Amino acid sequence: MIKLIRFVGLIIQSILIEFIHVFGLVAFLLAAALGYFRLPSWLVPIVGIICGIIADKFIDQTEVVSLLEKAASANQRGGFLVIVYIIIVAVGYVTGAYARHALHRRKIAQATPRQAAQQPQAANPAAKQPQKRKRS
């Protein structure tokens, strides 16, 4: 149990390091866009693996080693970095999907009072103003 808690703590520290590098934030926003535009969820591990490999090969992490030494040394291993990016992308995907759902709910809630105000006038013809008749 203690090893699991340490592993989760190490992943959280690594996610923090990746967000400090900004590439983790880019991956998060990319995944949020995937979720927002309802792209298939099977893209999440693919994008996570691609981002993890890019971060492992091309991102220099030496400037933040002093912040979190254990997490920085764990990030030197490519497999661990792929796991970190899969988690980042999965959370980003869920966040994007939730944002789309919340936006849709907000649009429905704003449209409902307008429709409710318009429906009684159309449904009740007796509520209309009487017209004056011309007498000839």
The helix or strand, by DSSP H or E, that contains position 106, with its residue range, turns out to be helix 78-123
Under 8 Å between Cβ of 51 and 23: yes
Q: What is the pLDDT of residue 125?
A: 54
Tokens describing residue 96:
């994007």
Residue 118's identity, in one-letter code, is: Q
Among 11-25, 26-40, 49-63, 69-83, whose mean pLDDT is lowest? 69-83
CA atoms of 15 and 112, how far apart (whole Å): 41
Checking if the pLDDT of 121 tops 70, the result is no
Q: What is the pLDDT of residue 117?
A: 61
Q: Which of 50, 53, 49, 75 is nearest to 62 (CA)?
A: 75
Q: What is the pLDDT of residue 111?
A: 81
Checking if the pLDDT of 93 tops 80, the result is yes
b/e sequence 20-49, b meaning 16+ C-beta within 10 Å:
ebebbebbbebbbebbbeebeeebbeebbe
Q: What is the mean pLDDT of the chain?
A: 82
Q: How far apart are the first and last CA of the chain?
A: 96
Q: What is the pLDDT of residue 71?
A: 76
Q: What is the pLDDT of residue 34?
A: 92
Q: What is the pLDDT of residue 64?
A: 63
More confident residue, 111 or 24: 24
